[in-house]
Amino acid sequence: MPEDAELVHYAVADDVATITLDSPHNRNALSRQLVRELFAQLQRAAADEQAKVVLLTSSGRVFCSGADLSEAASGAAEDGPRAIVGLQRAIVAHPKPVVVALAGPVRAGGIGIVAAADIVIATKDADFALTEVKLGLAPAAISLTVLPRLTSRAAAYTFLMGEKFPADAAADFGLVTTVVDGDDLAAEVVRVCASVASGAPQGLRETKALLARPLLAAIDAGEDEMATLSARLFASDEAREAMLAFLSKK
C-alpha cells in the first residue's frame, strides 16, 4: 500500500456521513495513521451541515482487528493508549448520532469503537473477541466504554476468556443493538439512519448529549489511569514477547 494512501474515507448523502475504514493490509488495525484519519473524519462530520447522522463501516469484511501490533511491539508510549481513549471520547461526545455497521470480525480495540457508538447493527456472521488477555495485556483503554455497556458477568466472561463470541451473544451482553441476516444489513442500515435523520437537529444534538453524559463522565474520570495501565502493559517484556510471537505466525 502506498505510504500516502488514505485509510479512512468520507462521503455524505441523504443526511448521512459515511466514514469507511479501508486498511486491508492490517485488517483495519488501529495504526497511528488510521486513528489520526478517523478522528479527522469525525471532526469533518461534526462540522458538515449536510450530515445529521454518522455511519461507521469498513470496506472489507473485518471491521477492526484491534491495536496495530507491529507498531505496538516496537515500543508503546502512553500516546498510543491516550489516542485510543481520545478516539472513543470523540465518538461518544460527537454532536451527531453515530451508527456502526458490522459484517464481520471485531477484535480488542475495535470493540472500543463499537461500544462508543450509539447504535450498532451487526450481521449474524459478525463475531467479537477481547483478546488482550492472551497477549499479557488487559483491555484497559477500551474498558472506559466497554464496561458500561456490558453486564458484570458478560464483562468477566469476555475479558478473562479472550475467546470469540457471536453477534447474538454480543446483543445479549449489551454491546450490539440489532442483529440481522447478512443480506439484510444494507437495508437495515438505511432504515435506521433514515429514521434517526428524521429527527430535528437540535433534538438529535441534545438527546445525544443527554445519553452520552454518564459515559463521558466515566471516560474523563478514568482516562489517566487506564492510559497509564495500558502503556505499562504494552511495554512489558511479557506482552512484547507475546506480540512478536503472534506477528511471526501471521
Domains in the chain, please, with CATH?
8-182 (3.90.226.10)
By C-alpha distance, which of 224, 221, 244 is closest to 234? 244
- pLDDT by residue (tens digit) across 175-230? 999 999 999 999 999 999 999 999 999 999 999 999 999 999 999 999 999 999 99
State how beta strands 53-58 and 98-102 pair: parallel
Average confidence (pLDDT) over 135-151: 97
- pLDDT by residue (tens digit) across 208-220? 999 999 999 999 9
Q: Residue 59 burial (CB < 10 Å; 0-12/13-18/19+)?
A: middle
Q: Which residues of 78-93 are buried (b: 16+ CB within 10 A; e: fewer)?
A: bebbbbbbbbbbbbbb
Report CA torsion sign: 146, 150, 151, 153: negative
| 72 has pLDDT over 80 | no
Average confidence (pLDDT) over 219-245: 94
57, β-bridge pairs: 20
Confidence tier at 71 by pLDDT (50, 70, 90): confident
- pLDDT by residue (tens digit) across 9-37? 999 999 999 999 999 999 999 999 999 99
| 162 has pLDDT over 90 | yes
Give the range among 146-150, 159-163, 173-177, 236-240 with minimum mean pLDDT.
236-240
Taking the model in full, what pTM does it have?
A: 0.95
100, β-bridge pairs: 56, 120
pLDDT at 4 (0 to 100):
73
What's phi and psi for 77, nearest 5 deg? -90, 170
